[in-house]
Amino acid sequence: MTQTDDPTALGLVALVDAMAEGRLRPSKAIEAFIARIEALEPTIQAFAHFDAGQLREAARMRDGQPPEGCLYGAPVGIKDVFDTADMPTAYGSDFYADFRPMADAAAVCRLKEAGALIAGKTVTTEFASVAPPKTRNPHHPDFTPGGSSSGSAAAVAARMVPAALGTQTAGSVVRPAAYCGVVGYKPSFALLDRTGMKTLAQSFDTVGIFTRSVADAALVLGALGPRPSLAVPDEARDVRIGLYLPPWCALGEACASDVVRHAGTLLREAGFDIADIPALEGFDRLLEDQQAIMDWDMVQALSFELDHGGERLHPVTREALTVRRQRMSAEKYDAAWAHLDEVGAVLARCFETVDVLLVPSAPGEAPRGHANTGSSEFNRGWTSLRVPCINLPAGFGPNGMPLGVQLVGPRWRDDVLLAAAAQVERALAGHPYRA
C-alpha cells in the first residue's frame, strides 16, 4: 500500500507534492477526505457548513487544470468568521443564519489563488467569543476541543482536512490546538490581512493556522502573506531558547508546567542552548491589561448585535457582552495600552538574549464536558503583546488528553519562530510527556 492510498494520512506538504507531481489526482484525494468527514462528522461536529457535492465539483475542475499554486488541490477548512461568497457565513450565530456575503475574505481569496479547495466552514463559538459550540474533541467526545476555533482544531486533528484557518483574540488558536494535539500558529498581529473577517476585538484579532506539522503551517503562511520567504522554515538556523514560566502558571494544573520542563530537558539533551528566564517585570498585570482593552473593543464591535440580537443571541454571549459593557472604562483602556508599551519593552530586551521563549500553551489538558471551552489565561498576555506564538504537541495529561508547549517569538520575526518551532518539533518527536 502506498501513502497515496489514504490521502488523509498525508501532511499538507506531502499531499500537495503528490498532486502536483501527478501521483494523486485532486478528485481522488478529495473523495478520501469527504469519506472521512462523512464518517466522523456525526460524532465530532466540526463543520458549520459542508457540501460534498460542491467540494467534488471543485476537485474535478482542479483535475483538468495545470498543478499551479503552493496549495494545489488541498482542502482547507475555514472558520465561520471569515466571509465566503459561495458558502453561508453565520459567524457562529443564529442572528446571521443563512447570511451569504457578496465577497470572500482576503484570507480565503489568498487560499484560492494558491490553488486550495475550500472544504467547508468550521464551527466557531458565537462571534468567536465564549458561548460553547457543538464540536467535540476528536481524542474523546466527552471533552471540549477548546475555542473559539473549535471546528478548525478538531477537523485537523481528526484528519478531516490537512489545514484550517482560525482566529485568535485571546487564546482561540493556541489553546484548541493544545487540547486537540495539533500545531496551532498565531502569527504576529497584522501580518495577515483581516479584511472580511468578523471583528471581535480589533486590537488583537489575528488570522491563525491549524495543521499537523510546522512545515505545513509555514506553507499556508507563505500562501496567505503572500510571503514565500516564510513558506519553508530555516531548520539550519541556530536558535537560543528561554524557558519561562509566567505568573499565570499558578492558575493552571501541574501538568501544564511539567510538560514545559520535560520539553526543556529533552532540548538540553539534544544540544539546544536553553536558558532559564526569571520573572519578567510587568507580566503580573498582562491579563488585566488584555481584559480592559478587549472589554472596550468587543462592546464597540458587537454593539449592534447586543442591542438588536434578542433571543437569537446565545445567552452566554449576551451575558458576556453585558458584563463587558458594564465593566468597560476609557481610563482602564488607556492605562492598559500605556502599560503594554512598558511590558513590550521588557520583552524586547529579553529577546536580545534568546530567540524564542518556551512556555505553557494552556492551563492543562482539555476540560471534561462542554459547558465551556476552557480558559484563555495562558494565552491572553502573549496576544496582548501582539507577538507570534505556536503550539506544538508535546504529551498527554492525567486523563490521556493532549498537552502542548508554546513557543513565543519577537513581533515581526515569524521566520525566527518558525525556524525554532521546526527544530523543537523534531527534537520532541517520539518523546511525549505523560502525567
**Residues taking part in catalysis:** 79, 148, 172
8 A C-beta contact, residue 424 and residue 407 = yes
Residue 357 backbone zone (phi > 0: left; psi -120 to 50: alpha; other: beta): beta
The whole-angstrom separation of Cα 118 and Cα 296 is 34
**Residue 259 corresponds to which cell in the numbers above?**
510538560
Q: For the chain, give the secondary structure using H, E and C.
A: CCHHHCHHHCCHHHHHHHHHCCCCCHHHHHHHHHHHHHHHHHHHCCEEECCHHHHHHHHHHHHCCCCCCCCCCCEEEEECCECCCCCCCCCCCHHHCCCCCCCCCHHHHHHHHCCCEEEEEECCCHHHCCCCCCCCECCECCECCCCCCHHHHHHHHCCCCCEEEEEECCCCCHHHHHHHCCEEEECCCCCCCCCCECCCCCCCCEEEEEECCHHHHHHHHHHHCCCHHHCCCCCCCCCEEEECCCHHHHHCCHHHHHHHHHHHHHHHHCCCEEEECCCCCCHHHHHHHHHHHHHHHHHHHCHHHHHHCHHHCCHHHHHHHHHHHHHCCHHHHHHHHHHHHHHHHHHHHHCCCCCEEEEECCCCCCCECCCCCCCCCCCHHHHHCCCCEEEEEEEECCCCCEEEEEEECCCCCHHHHHHHHHHHHHHHCCCCEEC
Sign of CA dihedral 56, 61, 66, 71: negative
Taking the C-alpha atoms of residue 140 and residue 121, their distance in angstroms, rounded to an integer, is: 22
Contacts of 323 (CB under 8 A, 6+ apart): none
C-beta neighbour count of 102 within 10 angstroms: 6
Give the residue carrying C-alpha cell 488558536. 173
